[in-house]
Structures are given as structure tokens and as C-alpha cells.
Amino acid sequence: MPKSPAIRNLSLSKAIIRSSRMKNLANRGRPHMNKAIISVHVPKAAGTSFVIWLESVFGNGQLRLDYADRPIDPKSEMNVDPAGFLSRYGAARRLPEGTLVVHGHFWAKKYERIENAFRITFLRDPIERTISHYYFWLNTPGDGHSLHQRVLDEGMGMLDFARLPQMRGFYRHYFFRDVNIAGFDFIGDMSFFDEELGRLEALLGVRGTRAQVGQNPAADYLSKREVALTTGPVHDELAEILTDEVAFYRQHLGR
């Protein structure tokens, strides 16, 4: 997906970030801090809040945001020509000079060859993630993403949305396609974002700025989410459709 409005409109307090950077000066030389950090932002899994944390720890100059690939867009380069995409963008063994962290919506295999890397992602329960994604797209204008535009043009219902191949294989066939996610160094659970961020900070030996997880912009989203999660037939159908994604999520959570 292209960079979301939430990312474009981030407003960070310079004073807070400066203070956090000062606290982290002593962390230089920690084992994991000498590694490149590859952070896969799974859509609707607190990635915007995590950007704020990354910015506070590493600074804007060392953080590269990568939101151009549109992993679930059928017309994106990584889906039309995956081999060519990797040959053009996935051959590097180091991040660009001066970049310590890359974070965004990208195919994890794109950075698989980066050496001496610490790999991070946060996963979200696929049923909750799909519900959130559905209502987010319904309430966000299309911006060139062909699948998003199709959902809007067809006025697609939630169950039909969940049945899309891009939703049924969201983790396995798109963001982590042909990638051994068991090799990631940290796989957080978005449901416990603050606690998991503390676990990551302990691993890296740093402290960063905490930000509240953003709310879905859809009107009455929380009530709509509650209905989908608690209405037996709807929830059961979603669970059936997303069975393999739920299994993937449960298998790899908490690394």
C-alpha cells in the first residue's frame, strides 16, 4: 500500500525526540544496535505508532520509510513480475549509506539479502486485522491501489472482502511470501503493543517515545468491530475463511 495519510501527517514533538535520542547515546555499541534493522509494517498493526518509536530512537536521517511496493495490489511490480522485482530491488547486501533502519509496507524478501540484520514485525490477529482493513479502505479515498479501488467501486461486503486471495493469504502469500519468518529476531503481538514494545526495547537495549495506537477512521468503527467479532455466524465465517492465516499468526507469535 502507498504511504498512508497517517504516516504523511505524523507530527512528532522535537523536544521529546531530542530527549529520547540523548537517552539512547549510551546504547551505542550494544550488540543489536550495530545491526541494520529491517521492520515489516503489517497494515493495521500499529505501524504508525511504531514509526514514532523508531524516529525517537534512530532519528529521521537514519530511518528510511519504504511504502511504495503495494504488496497486495495485483497490479504492483512485485506481483506482476516478482523475479524481476527482486533482481532490481532485492540484490543489495547493505542498506544505503547512513541508513540504519528501513520500515514500511514491503515484501520481506526484498531485504532478505541484507547482512547482519535484526528483523522485526508486529502481527495482528487476522480476523481483527481484516475487519480493521475493510473499514479503513471503505472510509479512505482510492489513491491508485487497484484492489482498494475495486473494493470501493463494488461496494464490497466484509465477507467478500475476507474471501479475496489477498486477505486469505495476506501474511503467507504477500508480506512474507517465500520467507522463513521463523528467522525473524522479533515478532510482536499487536494486541499487546505496549508490553511487546517493552520486550523489544529490552532486546535492543534502548528506550523510545511511546505513542498511542491510532484509531480506525471509520465512523462507529468500534461498534462495527464488536458486532463482527461477537455475531456468531459472521465471526465463524471469518474464522473459516482465514483459517490458514490464523494458524500462521499463532505459530509465529511472540518470537
Give percent of the chain with pLDDT exceeding 90. 66
User: Please, what is the Cα angle at 96 between 95 and 101, to 5 degrees?
Assistant: 50
Among 21-30, 42-51, 101-110, top mean pLDDT goes to 101-110
The C-alpha cell at 62 is 537514519
Task: Name the percent of the chain lying above pLDDT 70.
Answer: 82
Cα(51)–Cα(124) distance, rounded to whole angstroms? 17
Residues 201-226 have a mean pLDDT of 76
Cell (9 digits) for 208: 523510545
Higher pLDDT, 227 or 90: 90
- Inter-residue long-range contacts of 212-216, CB under 8 Å, 24+ positions, other chains counted: 212/49, 213/46, 213/49, 214/6, 214/46, 214/48, 214/49, 216/44, 216/132, 216/135, 216/136, 216/139
CATH number of the domain within which 126 lies: 3.40.50
Q: What cell numbers appear for 160 in the block?
A: 467478500
Number of domains in the chain: 1
Please state the pTM of the whole predicted model.
0.82
Whether 65 shows a pLDDT value over 70: the answer reads yes
Q: Is the pLDDT of residue 217 over 70?
A: no
Higher pLDDT, 88 or 1: 88
pLDDT confidence tier of residue 210, bands split at 50, 70 and 90:
confident
Structural contact between residues 42 and 171, judged by C-beta atoms closer than 8 angstroms = yes
Higher pLDDT, residue 22 or 139: 139
Give the residue-averaged pLDDT of 45-59.
88
Q: Where in the sequence is the domain holding 59, given as residue range(s)?
A: 5-252
Tell me, what's the pLDDT at 128?
Answer: 92
Q: Which of 32-46, 74-88, 163-177 has the lowest mean pLDDT?
A: 32-46
Residue with more model confidence, 23 or 250: 250
Which segments of the chain are extended strands (E)? 36-40, 63-65, 101-104, 117-123, 186-189
pLDDT tens-digit readout, 236-251:
999 999 999 999 999 9
DSSP 3-state of 36: strand
Predicted pLDDT at 29: 38
pLDDT higher than 50, residue 17: no
